[in-house]
Amino acid sequence: MARTKEFNEDQALDKAIEIFWHKGYNGTSAQDLVNHLGLSRSSLYDTFGDKQKLFVKSLKRYQKQNLDSLNELFENAENIKTALTEIFKQAVIESLQDRITKGCFMVNSAVELAMHDPEIAKIVHDNQKVVEDVFCNAVRKGQKLGQISEKQDARSLARFIFNNYSGIRVLARAGEKDKQVYDDILKAIFSLF
């Protein structure tokens, strides 16, 4: 039979996520992928098909990773409102820590590709719905526990949270490094709960 794969496909995908996230789809060349993944051209194409397929696989993997950690966070949280603030605070920390910030891979891909690639559009839209649901369930739970005000409809609040999360990721991608800007936004957001 054949020899076994010498590289781990998931590790390679993580590398692909990194560079696509950083440079975008159109900004990443095949040579960039070869250099960054550490695979030969042939292995790369044999394993993943072509650039678009590799991108789709990367984005799906990213989506799953993020969703899993989001679900885990809410499951282990005893206070929902605190958990929500943690999510945003973490985003702010990430936005400030590096000289450059990549923002959110999903948001970046939505802006760059959703209009022109139906497959990407579906991934983005599905992600939006499922993340919105996670937020919505969390908010409902928080409201039942008396941790979140019931003045706002849970679905509405979930969509609102999602929207502000997107906005902050764009701000980060745009290179905003003033902590006060983020803090002001967060202050306004959480005055609603």
- List 30, 93, 145, 192, residue binding its own copies (CB under 8 A): 192
Of 25 and 88, which CB lies nearer to DNA in the complex structure?
A: 25
CA separation for the pair 149, 66 (Å, rounded): 27
Torsion of CA 53, 55, 61, 64, to 10 degrees: -100
Torsion of CA 151, 154, 159, 160, to 10 degrees: 20
Q: Cα dist. 115→55, 56, 88, 118 in Å? A: 16, 15, 28, 7
When CB distances are held under 5 to 8 angstroms depending on the partner's kind, the choice from its own copies, DNA, none that residue 3 binds is DNA
Task: Provide the token pair at 136.
Answer: 């919505």
User: Contacts with its own copies in 90-119 (CB under 8 A)?
Assistant: 100-103, 107-108, 110-112, 114-116
The reply to whether 49 sits near its own copies by the rule CB under 8 A is no
The reply to whether 148 sits near DNA by the rule CB under 7 A is no
Of 43 and 152, which CB lies nearer to its own copies in the complex structure?
A: 152
For helices 51-75 and 41-48, give the axis angle rounded to 10 degrees.
60
Size of the site for DNA (CB under 7 A): 22
- With tokens 């948001």, the residue in question is 107
Cα torsion angle, 118, 122, 125, 131, sign: negative
- CB contact at 8 A, 164 and 137: no
The reply to whether 100 sits near DNA by the rule CB under 7 A is no
When CB distances are held under 5 to 8 angstroms depending on the partner's kind, the choice from its own copies, DNA, none that residue 100 binds is its own copies
Rounded least distance, CB 103 to its own copies, Å? 7
The reply to whether 56 sits near its own copies by the rule CB under 8 A is no
Chain residues binding DNA by CB under 7 A are 1-7, 28-31, 39-43, 45-47, 50-52
Residues of this chain that bind its own copies (CB under 8 A): 22-24, 26-27, 100-103, 107-108, 110-112, 114-116, 121, 124-125, 128, 151-153, 155-157, 159-160, 162-168, 170-171, 173-176, 181, 184-185, 187-189, 191-192
